[in-house]
């Protein structure tokens, strides 16, 4: 088994990646297990820049292959905001229940066809030889008219997925993982890591 560090302190993300990588030859270890904290500032202009910066920065500390992700929601009516600033949007300490109501106010009277939005996730893996692998996942939907659902986190209660007739906060976690930005990016990354392992780079 090869150890890969996942640069996150988010337990949900860890659970998700461990499940997806459970049949692989990789053993996911955490920064907590290594006794290090995340000191990398996410100040890039794109999800990819932030994920690459975090993965490379932590890899230099751990000297092990390191995965990092960055994600957020793009709302077309708000010129794709909050995008990379999703975690800070309207104030890092503002509860999501309030942020979500504010977004609904910003989109008051906006018709359904103009309420398009998407969650985006980019995962980067920094290898110890300096190579970087990236994978992206996109989850398309609309901004709902009212918040609904108790599952998930963040903007899930206002993210309506037409094909399922519900918000991502009303979805069972397994369904969300199957179709979500993070699930898609993680599965793509797992595939790319298997491919490079098969080529003999990561034993
Ligand atoms: P980060 O990738 O941990 O920096 O998180 C970015 C922010 O995007 C989160 O704090 C949430 O506000 C938002 N976000 C990312 N993925 C999701 C999701 O699956 N559901 C709801 N909000 C999300």
The tens digit of pLDDT for each residue in 146-176 reads 999 999 899 999 999 999 999 999 999 889 9
According to the model, what pLDDT value does residue 38 have?
A: 77
According to the model, what pLDDT value does residue 202 have?
A: 65
Average pLDDT along the chain: 93
The yes-or-no verdict on residue 201 having pLDDT over 60 is yes
The yes-or-no verdict on residue 193 having pLDDT over 80 is yes
Atom of ligand 1 nearest to the CA of 47: 2
**Which protein residue's CA is at the shortest distance from atom 20 of ligand 1?**
156
The tens digit of pLDDT for each residue in 37-71 reads 877 888 999 999 999 999 999 999 999 999 999 99
**Alpha carbon separation from 134 to 1, 47, 103, 147 (Å, rounded):** 21, 11, 30, 33
- Measure 72 CA to ligand 1 centroid, in angstroms: 5
Q: Is 70 a catalytic residue?
A: yes
Strands (E), 36-162: 66-75, 81-82, 116-126, 132-143, 159-161
Most informative mutation of 46, 83, 87, 123 for ligand 1 (most atoms within 8 A of CB): 87
Give the pocket of ligand 1 (CB within 6 Å): 69-73, 86-87, 119, 152-156, 180
């Amino acid at each position: 088994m090869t150890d890969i560090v996942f640069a996150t302190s988010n337990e949900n993300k860890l659970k998700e990646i461990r499940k997806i990588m459970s049949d692989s030859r990789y053993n996911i270890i955490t920064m907590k297990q290594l006794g290090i904290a995340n000191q990398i500032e996410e100040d890039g202009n794109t999800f990819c820049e932030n994920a690459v910066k975090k993965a490379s920065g932590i890899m230099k500390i751990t000297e092990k292959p390191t995965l990092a992700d960055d994600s957020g929601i793009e709302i077309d009516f708000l010129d794709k905001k909050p995008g990379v600033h999703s975690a800070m949007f309207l104030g890092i300490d503002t509860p999501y229940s309030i942020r979500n109501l504010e977004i609904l106010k910003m989109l008051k009277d906006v018709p359904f066809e103009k309420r398009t939005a998407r969650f985006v996730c980019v995962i980067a893996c920094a290898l110890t030889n300096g190579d970087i692998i990236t994978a992206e996942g996109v989850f398309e939907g609309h901004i709902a008219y009212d918040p609904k659902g108790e599952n998930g986190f963040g903007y899930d209660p206002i993210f309506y997925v037409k094909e399922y007739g519900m918000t991502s906060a009303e979805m069972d976690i397994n369904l969300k993982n199957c179709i979500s930005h993070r699930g898609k990016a993680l599965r793509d990354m797992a595939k790319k890591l298997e491919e490079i392992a098969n080529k003999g780079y990561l034993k």
